[in-house]
Amino acid sequence: MTDTRLMPELRFSPAPAAGDRPAAARVNSLTDLVGNTPLIRLRRIAAHLPETVEVYAKAEWYNPSGSVKDRPALNIIRTAEADGRLTPDKVVLDSTSGNMGIAYATLAGALGYQVRLVIPENASPERFSILRALGASFTLSSPLEGSDGAIREARRLAAAEPERFFYANQYNNPANWQAHFHSTGPEIIAQTDGAVTHFVAGLGTSGTFTGVGRALKAYHPGIQLIAFQPNAPFHGLEGLKHMPTAIKPGIYDQALADENLAVSTEAAHLMTRRLAREEGLFVGISAGAAAVAALQVAETLTSGVVVTLFPDAGYKYVSERFWNA
C-alpha cells in the first residue's frame, strides 16, 4: 500500500454552470486539450431506477487521442521531463494494450519524442492502423500472455538499452495515478457539485481507480469506491486485468476499494450494444463493462449519485463481431 505521506495536495475548482460554458478555446498545444471531459447522465439504460438515483459517465473519448489514457501519458511525460529522466535524445518506451500507446504516440509525438511500444498481437486491428498512422514503432508480444507478456518484453528492451529508452512503466509509475488525483477526481467533484456518492471504475493499470479514488476519499471519506475487473483470466475486455492471475501493478492499492465486482465479457458486449442503440453512445467494450458495474451498484440504492468512466469510443472496435448480434 502506498505511503500516504507521499500523497499530493488535492486541488479542484467549481465547474462552470451549463449556461456559462466558454466557447471552444484557441490553444497553443494539443496537450492543452487533455482533461475537462463531459459528464453524461445515463437515462434510458437507467430508466428502471428511482428518480433519486442518478448514474453518470465521464466521456473520456473527448481527450485528444480519444481515450482516458491521455491523462496519465501526459503526466508521465511531463514528470519525467521535469526530473531529467526524459531528454530529447531518448525514446519513450512502454507496454500497452492499445490506448496508452496511442496516447503516447499522439502526445509524445506532438512534443517531439519518438515512441516504441510493446503491444499484444491480438489487440484490435484498428489500434495497429492508428499507431502506424501516428508513426509509432511497435513490437508484438504473445496474444496468449495478454498485457503481462507485453510488460515482460518492455522490461527486457529497457534493460537491454537503458541509454536509449525512457521506460515510462505505466503500471508502476506514480505519475499515472497522480494524473487522475489532480484532474479526473476533482472534475467529478466539481461536475456533481460535490454530490457524488459512489465511484465505479475498472482495473487495468489501476491508475484511474487509484487516483480518482484517493481524490474522492480526500474530499469526503464516505464516498464509496467500487472496482471491477474481468470475471475470468481469459476474457475479451481489452485494457482490463484479472488481478488474481495477472502481474499486479505496483501502483495498485488493494485496500482502496470498498467493494469489488466481476464483469463478464458477454455482459460487457451486450451493454456496449445497448449504449449505442439506446443512449446514442458509441463506446468501447471497457465502457460497456463500466456501465454494467455502475448499474449493479445503482440498483442497490434508493438515492445516490453513481459516477463511472467510459475510457474510449467504439471506433477502435468496429471489426469486433459482437456488434452484429
Q: What count of Cα atoms within 13 Å lies in the side-chain half-sphere of residue 194?
A: 7
Question: How far apart (Å, rounded) are the C-alpha atoms in residues 43 and 55?
Answer: 8
Name the residue among 293, 217, 298, 307 with its Cα closest to residue 262: 293
Question: How far apart (Å, rounded) are the C-alpha atoms in residues 35 and 67?
Answer: 10
Please give the C-alpha separations between residue 28 and each of 71, 109, 112, 113, in angstroms, as whole numbers. 18, 15, 15, 18
Angle at 217 between CA 209 and CA 193, to 5 degrees: 95
Whether residue 218 contacts residue 265, with contact meaning beta carbons closer than 8 Å, is answered with no
Whether residue 93 contacts residue 155, with contact meaning beta carbons closer than 8 Å, is answered with no
Query: What number of other Cβ atoms are within 10 A of residue 308's Cβ?
Result: 27
Active site members = 69, 286
